[in-house]
Structure 1
Amino acid sequence: MKEISKKKFSLMVLLTWVILLGIWWITTNTRLIDSKLVPTPQETWRTFIDILKHGYNGMSLWKQLVDSFYRMFIAVFFAIVTAVPLGLLSGYFVFFRAIIDSLVQFYRPLPPLAYYTLLILWLGIDDTSKITLLFLAAFAPIYVSCVSAVSRINKDYVLSGESLGANKQQVFFTIVFPACLPQIFTGIRTAVGVAYTTLVAAEMVAATSGIGWMVIDASRYLKSDVMFVGIIIMGITGVLLDFILRQIEKRIVFWEE
C-alpha cells in the first residue's frame, strides 16, 4: 500500500472505533439499554481499574492472564512442532496424507465441547485436558495450511532442483519448506485465534483461574461489567498476539511483501 493509503486506512480504523464507542456511551448513558445488560463505558473502566488493583475473587488480573496464556502457548507450541512437519510431509508424500489427512478432517469440524468431556474423563480436570483441547483446536488449521501450501508450489521449482541433482531431502528443505512459509504463518495466526476462542470453552469446566473463567464466572452472577472487561481484554490481547506474529513473519519471510 502507498503511504497515503496507509494513513487513510488508519484513520478509518480510528473513526470506526470512535463511532462504536460513541454509540456505546450514548445508548448506555441515556438508558436506552439497561445498564445491567450493557454497562456504561465509565462503569467498565472503573471495574477494570478495580480488578487491576484488587484482582477478581482474590486472584490478580495478571495471574488470570498468565494462567490462560500458559495453557494456550503450551498447546500452540506443540501444535506447531507437530502440525508443520506432518502437514508438509502429507502434502509432499501421498503415503503420509493417506494416514493422517482423514483423521484430521474427521475431528476438525467437531465442536470442542463435543469431545472435551471425553478428554476430562481420560486426562482429568487439571490443565492437561485443557491444553490437549487447545492443542487439537490449533493443530488442524496449521496442518491444513501446510498441506495446501505444498500443493500450490510451482512444480517448475521442484523439477529444476531435481534436474540439478538434488535429492528428495534437499528439495524438501531448500524449495518446499521456504515456499510454504507464508502459508504456514497464516495457519499459525489462524490457529492462535482458534485456540484463544476455544480457551473460554476449556475454562468453563472445572477451572478456577484464567481470563475465560473470569468471564464465565461473572456471567453466573450477572456481573456484566466484569464480563465486558474480560471480553475487551481478550480482544486487545488477541490483536496484540496477531500483531506480534505478523512482525515475526516479516522478519522470517523477508522475501514476501
Structure 2
Amino acid sequence: MGQIFSDLGGELVTLVISVLSALPYIAIYVAVIMLAYFIFHLVKRRLTPVHDYTSLKTVTFGDESAVVSNKVASVVSIVLIFVIWGSFTGSEWLPRFLHAPGPFVGEASFTYTVETEDGTRDDATVSVLVHPKGQKPEAPVVAPGDGLAKNDSLVVQSYRSTLLRWDANDEVTRKEGAKVVAVDGEPISRDNAVETKIGRVALTDKGTLNFAPATGMQMESIWLPAPESVWRRLISVSRDGYQNVTLSEHLSYSLFRVIVGFALGAMVGIPLGYAMGLSDWARGWFDPIVEFMRPVPPLALIPLVIIWAGIGEQGKIILLFLAALWIMAIGARSGVSGVNISKVHAAYSLGANKRQILRHVIIPNSLPEIFTAARVAMGVCWGTVVAAELVAAEKGVGKMIVAASKFQDTDIVLMGIILIGVIGFGIDMMMRWAEKYLVPWKGKG
C-alpha cells in the first residue's frame, strides 16, 4: 500500500510540474482574451455610445435579451487558436515574426575537456551540423589539431540526438582511463548535463557524449503538424481516399452510426424519463438502474457488447445507443421535475384533465431540458464513435484515426479530429436552430 501511495505521489508531482510549466502559456492566452475583450468594447463604445436602459442592464437572464454568443468574440477565438497552432508549428501561413522560437538548424561547435589518469587535461572542438528532416548532408571536415584530444564532427537531424565516441581518434582512450570532465568550461558528469547555446550535452554511462540540439518552442511535425500539412492531407485524402476507402465513406459510416445510436437512445430514453418524472413507481423502479449506469463510461461496455452482439454494425450502434440512453432519460426526467407547479395548478383550475396537462403543460415545459440533454448526448456519441469503430470496423472516421496513429500519420489523426469536431458542431447548431424554432418560449418564464 505504501508503494502505491508513493507511486501516486510521484505521478502527482509530475502532473503539478507539467501544469506549472504550462501556466505562462495559459497566462498569455488569457491576456490575449482580455485584451481582445477590452479593444472590442472600447471600439463598440466609441461607435455606438448608447446609454439607454438596455445598454445599462447587468442582469440579462430570463428575458428576450438573454446572453447570446458574441460573433466577434467567436471569430477572434478561432483565429487566435489557429495563430497559436501555426506559431508553435512554424506554419508557412504565418509571417515569421509570429513564429515561436524554432529548433536550432545550422553549423556550430562546442568544446569538451579530456582528463587522463595522471591529471593531464586537453581540449578538443566538436563541429556540429544540425539539418532539417529529409536532408542527408556530409559531416564537416575538421583538422584533428594537436594534443591528446582531437577535434571531431557531428551530423544530426533537428529534434534528434546522436552519440559521439570522442576517443575514437584521440591518443588516450576511455580504456586507458581518460574521461570527459567539462563541456564549454562547465563540469559534466553522468548526473549533470551541460546546456550549451546549440543544445544539450550529456555524459552516458559508458563515458561517451550524447548531443541533442536545442528544440526551441516549436513542436515537431510528428507531434503536431502545421495547419497547411493538415490541409494538404485533407485535399489528398478527399481525392484519393485512405486505405482504399474514400473520405466521404468514412464520414458517412460514422455519421450513420451516431445518428442511429442517438435516435434509438432518444426513442427509449425520453419516454423512460417521462415515466420517471410522472410516476413514483416508475421512478423507484428505474432510478437505481439509471443512476448506476449513468457514470459507467461507454468504453467499459465494449467487451460485453462484443460478446452480446459480435463485431458487426449492431455492436457499434448498441454502444452508441447506451451512450445516449441514460443522458436522454435524465434530461427528460429533469425536464418533467422542473415544470413550474403553478402552471399545473392553473391548468387544473381551467378544467384540464391529465392527458391535456401532459400535452399542453408537461411536454412543452420539459422540451428545453430535453434539447439540452440531446446536445450533450450527441457530443458523447461523437466521442464514443471512435471507440465503437475500434471493434473491427473497416470504415469510419474513428477507424481512419486509429489506423493513421499506428503509422504515426499525425496529420491524418488531426484531420479526423477536426472533421469530427466540425460535423459535431454543425449538428449542434442544427439542434440549436430546431430548439429555437420548436421551443420559442425557452427562457421567457
Give TM-score scaled by structure 1 length.
0.94
- Counterpart of 2:87 in structure 1 is 26
Aligned mate of 1:113, from 299, 309, 314: 299
In 2, the alpha carbon distance for the partners of 1:35 and 1:183 equals 43
Q: Write the deviation string for residues 37-92 of structure 1: whole angstroms up to 9, x where unpaired.
A: 11111111110000110111111111001100111111111111111111012101
Q: Residue 121 of structure 1 aligns to a residue in which SS?
A: helix
In 1, the alpha carbon distance for the partners of 2:348 and 2:68 equals 43
Instruction: Give the aligned length.
Output: 255
For structure 1, the 5+ residue unaligned runs are: none
Q: Which has the higher contact order (CA 8 A, sep 6+)?
A: 1
Is the counterpart of residue 96 in structure 1 residue 282 in structure 2?
Answer: yes
Q: CA deviation at 1:256?
A: 2.5
In 1, the alpha carbon distance for the partners of 2:347 and 2:391 equals 52
Is the counterpart of residue 169 in structure 1 residue 344 in structure 2?
Answer: no
Contact 2:316–2:391, Cα closer than 8 Å, also in 1: no
- Counterpart of 2:312 in structure 1 is 126
Q: CA deviation at 1:6?
A: 6.5
Is the counterpart of residue 38 in structure 1 residue 218 in structure 2?
Answer: no
- Counterpart of 1:136 in structure 2 is 322
- Counterpart of 1:252 in structure 2 is 438
Q: Write the deviation string for residues 117-157 of structure 1: whole angstroms up to 9, x where unpaired.
A: 11111111001011011011111111111111111111122
Aligned mate of 2:412, from 216, 226, 235: 226
Aligned mate of 1:13, from 63, 74, 78: 74
Q: CA deviation at 1:16?
A: 1.8
- Counterpart residue identity of residue 253, structure 1: V
Q: CA deviation at 1:224?
A: 0.2
- Counterpart residue identity of residue 22, structure 1: V
If each structure's helix is expressed as a fraction of its own residues, which one has the higher value? Answer: 1
Q: Residue 355 of structure 2 aligns to a residue in which SS?
A: helix
Is the counterpart of residue 194 in structure 1 residue 380 in structure 2?
Answer: yes
- Counterpart residue identity of residue 228, structure 1: L
Q: CA deviation at 1:115?
A: 1.5
- Counterpart residue identity of residue 130, structure 1: K
**CA 75–6 in structure 1, closer or farther in 2 if over 3 Å, else same:** closer
In 1, the alpha carbon distance for the partners of 2:325 and 2:281 equals 20
In 2, the alpha carbon distance for the partners of 1:74 and 1:48 equals 27
If each structure's strand is expressed as a fraction of its own residues, which one has the higher value? Answer: 2
Q: CA deviation at 1:221?
A: 1.0
Q: How does 1:57-76 map to 2 (within 5 A)?
A: 57-76=243-262
- Counterpart of 1:183 in structure 2 is 369
Give every structure 1 segment of 4 or more consecutive aligned residues whose post-TM-superposition deviation is greater than 6 Å. none
- Counterpart residue identity of residue 82, structure 2: L
- Counterpart residue identity of residue 194, structure 1: V
In 2, the alpha carbon distance for the partners of 1:101 and 1:84 equals 14
- Counterpart residue identity of residue 80, structure 2: I
In 2, the alpha carbon distance for the partners of 1:42 and 1:161 equals 60
Give TM-score scaled by structure 2 length.
0.55
- Counterpart of 1:206 in structure 2 is 392
Is the counterpart of residue 217 in structure 1 residue 403 in structure 2?
Answer: yes
Larger Rg computed on CA atoms: 2
Q: Residue 130 of structure 1 aligns to a residue in which SS?
A: helix
Q: CA deviation at 1:160?
A: 2.4
Q: Write the deviation string for residues 190-242 of structure 1: whole angstroms up to 9, x where unpaired.
A: 11011110111111221111011111111111110100110111111111010
In 1, the alpha carbon distance for the partners of 2:75 and 2:346 equals 48
Q: CA deviation at 1:169?
A: 2.1
Q: Residue 28 of structure 1 aligns to a residue in which SS?
A: coil
- Counterpart residue identity of residue 165, structure 1: G
Q: Write the deviation string for residues 94-131 of structure 1: whole angstroms up to 9, x where unpaired.
A: 11111222111111111212121111111110010110
**CA 6–119 in structure 1, closer or farther in 2 if over 3 Å, else same:** closer
Is the counterpart of residue 157 in structure 1 residue 157 in structure 2?
Answer: no
Q: CA deviation at 1:168?
A: 2.1
- Counterpart residue identity of residue 340, structure 2: N
For structure 2, the 5+ residue unaligned runs are: 1-59, 91-101, 104-217
